Amino acid sequence: MRVKRFIVDTMPEAMQHIRNELGSDAVILSSKEIKVGGFMGIFTKKKIEVIAALDKEDKSNQDKPATPSVQVPRNSVPQAYKKTAVSTQPAGPNRLGVPGDSEKAFDHPEQMSNRERAAVDFAAALAQAAAGGQQPAELSEQPLISAYERESAESAIPVPASADPVSQSEARNSAEQKMLDELREMKEWIARLSRQNLVNPELPESLESIREQLIRQDLTDQLSEVWLNNAMDEWVASNKTLSDEQLRASIYRQMESFLEGRFGGGIQRATRIVYIAGPTGVGKTTTIAKLAAEQLFKYQRKVGFITSDTYRISAVDQLRTYASILNVPLEVVQSPGDMQRAMHRLEDCDLILMDTAGRNYRNELLVSELQSLMAPSDHSETYLVLSLTSKSSDMVEITDHFSKFGLDKVIFTKLDETGSCGPLFNLLNAHPLKVSYMTNGQNVPDDLLMPDTTMLSRMLLGELRT
């Protein structure tokens, strides 16, 4: 028996190699996905390892010559796609089935499926759009989708008449949705490459240093590119005569414009109850103590505490300690009925601060328990407490889950534990929240700040250390 191992990008390519070298009677013994190349486990490429065999004792197989392959000139393949495949494509085969940096698949275009031909044409158009500055989102996905549907119809296994039409429809919709997701991912990748090519060249030295600072601050590309492009337009409009100070001032103006209307101030005088919500471990209880001290000593308001955090060990004891130090009453609640009784007992307080239990924001059931204890009204405010040490994506997801409470303002904690405030800007860009307070330590009541435009702008540009 003759056994041969093939390393290929796609199974059609493997079948062609097997037919050419072993003949049409060869059988595939195994196939699996492997990773090759790279350096220390990174930049590896995904390949398919196929092991095929041919029985040498079969005379018909020995006498039958292998089917010769028809060679087609390489210039028949769109040059724009070949350049993109060689220079910019990520490691491994493309999810659409188009090979990565290998050109072997282009040697037999007559054997390509309708889907693969459409994918090649679509990728070529994307490459040309990126090179020409066109937005890839303007390109139509319909030709590739149509080719995909046409090939699926041609190669589909006949479905018995008794099959459930609903199941067939769901399977077809699932396949179409998967193709759309793959197309969007490919377009986003090309768009990101195009934006990088447009932003990076010919930036003045001052703007280049600002761009690097914004990257260090974890600011999203969406915001930084808008600000840098606007400053770049001003520089070009002035015949490139703007000084470094003027370019920096342009960035400042855009930050001020972005932050306009994004500040909520402190607790309003007419507010009767303040709900404090947020995930676990962000410092809600300590923040409540700081807010109470501010209202007591600065505004001379009579404050009361309510806590529903009976799940965490010593959580009630921590707030009871603060209540004893500040000489304010404390009520513990576990149900909506307890909440009504606590409100009645604290009716002589000017302001009630409620400490809710920190919850895993991914658990909808646990988060919904908090909603049963809250009763937002015209005389209440709901604050979301977030840690600046969290990732931007986590902040946005947390806010998505807690937004059902009707969030009014946000408090950012642990400013002293991070040198990055970019996630704050990213969250404000994703949600219509207003910044109220920031905390930069555990000292009560000192480490409580009320930020403004100048403070946040200087922090983002690295001019202000906390």
Q: Quote the tokens at residue 330.
A: 């404390």
Cβ of 370: how many Cβ atoms within 10 Å? 19
The predicted model gives 325-332 an average pLDDT of 91
At 87, is the secondary structure helix, strand, or coil? helix
Nearest residue to 221 via CA among 240, 200, 203: 200
Is the pLDDT assigned to residue 92 strictly greater than 60?
no
pLDDT (tens digit per residue) in 200-224: 446 788 888 888 899 999 898 888 8
pLDDT, one tens digit per residue, over 358-370 is 656 566 666 666 6
Confidence of residue 2 (pLDDT cuts 50, 70, 90): confident
pLDDT band at 258 (very low <50, low <70, confident <90, very high): very high
Supply the pLDDT for residue 181: 77
Q: If pLDDT is split at 50, 70 and 90, which confidence band does 101 have?
A: very low
Residue 335: which pLDDT band, with cuts at 50, 70 and 90? confident
Residues 372 and 354: beta-carbon distance below 8 Å: no
Q: Residue 4's pLDDT is what? A: 85
DSSP string for residues in 427-466: HHHHS--EEEEEE-SS-TTTSEE---HHHHHHHHTT----
pLDDT at 366: 61
User: How far is Cα 94 from Cα 83, in angstroms, rounded to an integer?
Assistant: 15
Amino acid in the structure at residue 282: V
Can you give the pLDDT at residue 263? 93
Q: Count each helix (H run) and each strand (E run) in the chain, helices first.
A: 16, 11
Cα–Cα distance, 222 to 199 (Å, whole number)? 12
Q: Give the residue-averaged pLDDT of 318-333.
A: 89
Q: What's the confidence (pLDDT) of residue 76?
A: 42
Cβ atoms within 10 Å, residue 248: 18
Higher-pLDDT residue of 401 and 197 is 401
Which has the higher per-residue pLDDT, 407 or 197?
A: 407
Q: Which amino acid is at 235?
A: W
Q: Is the pLDDT score of 248 beyond 50?
A: yes
Give me the chain's average pLDDT, please.
75
pLDDT digits (tens, 9 = 90+) for 403-460: 777 788 999 999 988 888 899 999 999 888 899 999 988 888 788 999 999 999 999 9
Tokens 């972005």 -> residue: 258
Please determine, looking at this structure, whether the domain spanning 273-460 carries the CATH number 3.40.50.620: no
Query: Which of 349, 315, 314, 311 has the alpha carbon at shortest distance from 329?
Result: 349
- Give the range among 59-63, 172-176, 336-340 with minimum mean pLDDT: 59-63
Task: Break the chain into its structural domains and give their ranges.
Answer: 2-63, 78-154+167-197, 203-258, 273-460
Write down the pTM of the prediction.
Answer: 0.57
Element holding 80 (H helix, E strand):
helix 79-87
Which of 49-63, 187-201, 230-244 is the most confident on average? 230-244
| One-character DSSP codes across 231-296 | HHHHHHHTTS---HHHHHHHHHHHHHHHHTT-B--S--TT--EEEEE-BTTS-HHHHHHHHHHHHH
Bigger pLDDT: 246 vs 403: 246
pLDDT (average), residues 298-319: 82
Indicate the pLDDT class of residue 126, thresholds 50, 70 and 90: low
Min mean pLDDT across 174-188, 335-349, 434-448 is at 174-188
355: pLDDT strictly greater than 90: no
Q: At what angle do helices 114-132 and 165-199 cross, to 10 degrees?
A: 30
Contact 292, 328 (CB under 8 A): yes
Whether residue 254 has pLDDT greater than 90: yes
Q: Which two tokens stand for residue 128?
A: 């040309």
Instruction: Indicate the DSSP class of residue 200.
Output: S
Helix/strand/coil percent split, the chain, to 5: 50, 15, 35
Count Cβ atoms within 10 A of the Cβ of residue 278 and give its class: 0-12 exposed, 13-18 middle, 19 or more buried.
Answer: buried
